[in-house]
Amino acid sequence: MNDVLNGGVGEIEIEKGIPLPVVMRVRGSVWNELLAKMQVGDSCEISKRHAHTIRQRARVLGVGVTTRKSADGKVRLWRISATGKQNS
């Protein structure tokens, strides 16, 4: 038997036995692939909203990267070392 709560947000039914779906982590694998394909000295243009996430991923993988914002507002990512400290 399921319980039903009636509060300020309306009725909420508490259900039992619903399996938790598997989480698909697509973004991490995309950034892993990008960083794996880049060699030291390679660069690519990335969106400003992805810059922080990619730098974090590089840190986890031990890949040195740096980013710079150009005068026109675009962000470019460079791979600066195979391993080591990440610079921003």
pLDDT at position 2? 64
**Domain spans of the chain, in order of start:** 40-88
State the burial class of residue 79 (Cβ atoms within 10 Å of its Cβ: 0-12, 13-18, 19+): buried
pLDDT at 57 over 70: yes
Helices and strands: H and E segment counts in the chain = 2, 5
pLDDT in tens, 7-46: 666 788 888 898 887 765 655 678 899 999 999 999 999 9
Average pLDDT, the chain: 83
